[in-house]
Structure 1
Amino acid sequence: MALEFEAGGLDRADVRALLAEHLSDMFATSPAESVHALDLDALGEGAVSFWTAREDGRLLGCGALKDLGDGHGELKSMRTTADARGRGVATALLAHLVATARSRGWTRLSLETGTEPYFAAARRLYAREGFEACEPFGDYALDPHSVFLTRPI
């Protein structure tokens, strides 16, 4: 698999469709007050950098990094297309995002994901890649529908 990572792309129809699917699934799975996925406007803000993963031009996934300051970043909007699942796309995308965060001089990367069974595969991926449970960070508060994870980079 030869993945190509591209910065940006929020204006592309396939990216917008994948992000709409992502938000729809988040609201279908978690209570609205526990959905922390970013919409298109928030993904375009200055503190957020967004990437896509493509194979032969076909969108397979996306992810973003949010600069929290003081060398701390947050992983946001990790999503793969249905036909990309089980092919290692999420692992490769996560590796790209971690390497990018490291190249920026960040020393810690954190994330929030859900507690529901729907998020089990994501939690397994993050645990495999060295993320461990932590307290809420940034603007997050304790929430029974959220798991907070972090790792040094």
Structure 2
Amino acid sequence: MTTATDIQLGNLADERVIRLLTDHLNDMFATSPAESVHALDVSGLSVPEVTFWTIGDGDALHGCVALKELDPQHGELKSMRTDAAARGRGLGARLLEHVLAESARRGYRRVSLETGSQDFFRPARTLYAKYGFRECGPFGDYSLDPNSVFMTLELEPAASSRTA
């Protein structure tokens, strides 16, 4: 089994990133009503409170993930995507582990996410639950929505985390 090992800060101007994000948004709008799609486009990922990473090997880009700072102790997982051709290789888990390690390093006490309630999102919800995420109520600017599942994970900050 070949796995990509290169996780790095993503270039939002890279055409491969734009294609991956376009595929992600297309799937979100094909699966959920427009008012229930909370995926970020390039402009939403370009704001200072969002850090964006990609995973790939060589010239191939296989996935992406973002971490949005909601406040100094709370991060939100955003835009996690594995390219359809690269699924089943553990890349989503690698991206999630990267975000969780970075969240702990930053001193976040909690990481939350919003995902869909439809069957399409079941693999994602299963992955998040495997890592200890539990369903919760809406957080941040979200509202209760039957098309959304909100999940959160309490973290123990790393010893080298920033101080408040």
- In structure 2, C-alpha distance between the alignment counterparts of 1:94 and 1:138, rounded to whole Å: 20
Match of 2:36 in 1: 34
Structure 1 residue 2, shift from structure 2 partner: 4.3
- In structure 1, C-alpha distance between the alignment counterparts of 2:57 and 2:146, rounded to whole Å: 37
Match of 2:16 in 1: 14
Structure 1 residue 3, shift from structure 2 partner: 1.2
Between the two proteins, what is the percent identity of the paired residues? 54
> In the TM superposition, what whole-angstrom CA distance separates every residue of 1:105-136 from its partner, at most 9, and x where no partner exists?
11100000000011010010000011000010
Match of 1:54 in 2: 56
Give the alignment's TM-score, normalised by structure 1: 0.97
Q: What is the identity, as a one-letter code, of the residue corresponding to 1:78?
A: M
What is the aligned counterpart of 1:90 among 70, 89, 92? 92
What is the aligned counterpart of 1:141 among 140, 143, 159? 143
Match of 2:76 in 1: 74
- In structure 1, C-alpha distance between the alignment counterparts of 2:36 and 2:94, rounded to whole Å: 27
Unmatched 5+ residue regions in structure 1?
A: none
**Deviating runs (4+, > 4 A) in structure 1?**
none
Match of 2:161 in 1: none
Unmatched 5+ residue regions in structure 2?
A: 156-164
Q: What is the identity, as a one-letter code, of the residue corresponding to 2:55?
A: A
> Any idea what SS the aligned residue of 1:139 has?
coil
- In structure 1, C-alpha distance between the alignment counterparts of 2:17 and 2:73, rounded to whole Å: 28
| Contact 2:4 2:91 (C-alpha < 8 Å) held by counterparts | no
Alpha-carbon RMSD: 0.8
> Any idea what SS the aligned residue of 2:99 has?
helix
Structure 1 residue 84, shift from structure 2 partner: 1.3
Structure 1 residue 55, shift from structure 2 partner: 1.6
> In the TM superposition, what whole-angstrom CA distance separates every residue of 1:26-81 from its partner, at most 9, and x where no partner exists?
00100000000001101000110000001223111000000000400000000001
Q: What is the identity, as a one-letter code, of the residue corresponding to 1:39?
A: D
Length, aligned pairs only: 153
Q: What is the identity, as a one-letter code, of the residue corresponding to 1:25?
A: D
Match of 1:111 in 2: 113
> In the TM superposition, what whole-angstrom CA distance separates every residue of 1:4-40 from its partner, at most 9, and x where no partner exists?
1111311101110000010011001000000000011
Greater Rg over alpha carbons, structure: 2
